[in-house]
Every structure is written in C-alpha cells, then in structure tokens.
Amino acid sequence: MDKMLSISVVLLGGTISMAPSKNEKGNSGEGVVPSITADELCNAVPGIEKIASVKPKCIKLIASANLDIMDVILLKKIIEELAEKDISDGVVIIQGTDTMEEMAFALDLMLDVKIPVIFTGAMRSANMVSADGPSNILGAVIAATYKPLANSGVVVLMNDEIHAARFVQKCHTRDVGAFKSLNGGKVGQICEGKVLLSAPVKKKQSFQIVNAHPVPKVGLIKATLGDPGDLLEYYISENYQGLVIEAFGAGHLPEKWLPLLDRVIAKMPVILCSRTAEGPVFENSYGYPGAEIDLIARGLVPAGILDGPKARLYLMISIMAGQEICKPDY
C-alpha cells in the first residue's frame, strides 16, 4: 500500500473563510467577514482524509485586498522550509480571489521548489447555497499530490480547472468559473478525482530577492481616450522606482504623452503592456510616434503577454532581485 502523502494547507483568508458577521448582541450583522479557521475549512471537506494527510495552518485571516508583496515573501519562506525539510509533499494556499492571480504569479517568480504549489479559494462564502469552497479545497489537495505539477511552477485551481500563474486572470465578479487562462489555456483539470493535464507548461525563471526593504514603489497607469498623461508627472515627483503603462491596442500611446514620458524613462525603468485582455504587446509593426517601435526605441521594455498587474510585479521583483530590466520570458 502506498504511503499517504502529506499536504500542507496554508490559509490567508478570503471569501472561503468568511461567514456572516455578528453584532454586539450576537445577531447577524451586515455582510460576511473572515472568521473560519484552516482546520474548520479542511474538516468541512468530505473525503479529504482519503486523499492525503492534510496539515492545516492559518497564518492570516484577512481579505485578499489587504495582502501585499511581503506576504508573498512570507509564503516563500514557509514553503521553502516545508520542502527542504521534507515536511510536505505539496502545498495548498487558500486565499481570497481578488488578488489570487497576482499572489500566485509573484510567488512563481520567487519560488524554486520541487513540490506542487497550488492556490485556491472560493467565489461563494460558506453560508451560501452551493458554496464552492469545499470542492476547490478538495481539488487543490488532489492537485498537490500530483508530483508532475511541480514542473509547472505555481498554479491556481478553481472550479476543477488548473491554471498556470503566468496566464490566469479573474474574469468575473461572481461566477464560480471566473478564472481563465486567456493567453495560454488551462494546464489541466480534475476529473473523477484525478489530475488530467491538457497543456502543461514549464516553470520559467526564478528571482533571488536581495533587497526587500523598503519595497520598491512601482506604479501602474492605464491609457484612456483623451487622457493628457499628466499623471506621469506624479511618478517622477513621488520618486517611484518603476512604472508599467497599459497602452492602447498592441502597445500605443498618445503622441502628446511623449515629452513627459521621456522624463519618466530618464528616472526609472518603464514596462509597456497592452490594456487589451488577450495577445502580446507588439514590438515591430507600427512606426508612428507613440507606437510600439517608437516607444521601445525610447527605452520602454515590452511585457510580452503579461497584463498590467503582472508586469508590475515582474518589474518590482526584478528590482528587488537587482536584475537588469529586460523583456519577460513569456
């Protein structure tokens, strides 16, 4: 009989951990708040004990909007210790879906371990009809026992679908199938209690953080119709260390932005990505002032397929690692 694998389940909070709030008299208040522990979440999953020896651990119990890059560094340290000491055969991280794609991608950029690392959460709180939390936890634990997934780096499992951190995006505010891999397709799925890989990916580079204090200030600005670009001045005056610009279409900005943009480029690295949901930023198609050929010649770095939030994390972590800012390998 095969030895049952040990899976660590690390809770940060999120909708999956939320229940109706209570007022001073013990009656239900307004809305749900984080209150359910890691042990309670795992104990509410039927059949989980048949899949693995699950070790729940609660390190935070907060909404994911309150997480930041230091929480990613904390996760990195926890997971590295679990892997290096052979404490766990895989790790499941439970958190809110609002920032899950960013947390997963940032961790993927930092982490280099040989065990599966799976993010999951819930779109519906535990008090709702058809809450998806238990199913997602079960699927994530199943995925964490599947050793080949370690080759794909950090992944996200939601609604029995497995997504690579570099591709996944939350695309809906309420749908349990909210998470999609717009630029690459899902890595696989859970079917009949097993992992089925359909488009496995290989983990890309890992960055060794050399300076996390203070966390570099990296901004994100989105081009919109008629915007004069005055906000660029703010990033200069506030001493930001990097900027990501979500440009129109394949990577285009208004010509009137260019004088200010040149001043920004002289002060900090700037990454160019597209505000469009799918497709890479171009590098060699459009030649007018403010198009991608001109912008790259001025010093902007193309982001490949990365969207704005992920390009910002890539730039921030590159700075923290003391790396030259170059086009992401995606």
130-176 residue pLDDT tens: 999 999 999 999 999 999 999 999 999 999 999 999 999 999 999 99
Full-model pTM: 0.95
Of the candidates 81, 98, 103, 208, the one whose C-alpha atom is nearest the C-alpha of residue 154 is: 103
Longest dimension (CA), the chain: 70
Q: Which of 15, 97, 99, 145 is catalytic?
A: 15
Burial level of 66, CB count in 10 A (0-12/13-18/19+)? middle
* 43-71 confidence digits (pLDDT tens): 999 999 999 999 999 999 999 999 999 99
State yes or no: pLDDT of 23 exceeds 80.
Answer: no
Query: Residue 211's pLDDT band (boundaries 50, 70, 90)?
Result: confident
Assess whether the region 6-197 and the region 218-320 belong to the same CATH fold.
yes
Rounded Cα gap, residues 174 and 242, in angstroms: 33
97 in catalytic set: no
How far is residue 38's CA from residue 220's CA, in Å, rounded to a whole number?
A: 34
What is the spatial distance between Cα 138 and Cα 45, in angstroms, rounded to a whole number?
Answer: 7
Which architecture characterizes domain 6-197 according to CATH?
A: 3-Layer(aba) Sandwich (3.40)
Mean pLDDT value of segment 241-251: 99
Tokens of 211: 């300076």
CATH class of 218-320: alpha beta
Domain boundaries, the chain: 6-197, 218-320
Q: What is the pLDDT of residue 72?
A: 98
Pairing of strands 6-13, 28-34: unpaired
C-beta neighbour count of 233 within 10 angstroms: 12
DSSP single-letter state for residue 95: -
Confidence class for position 3, pLDDT limits 50, 70, 90? confident
Mean pLDDT of 66-91: 97
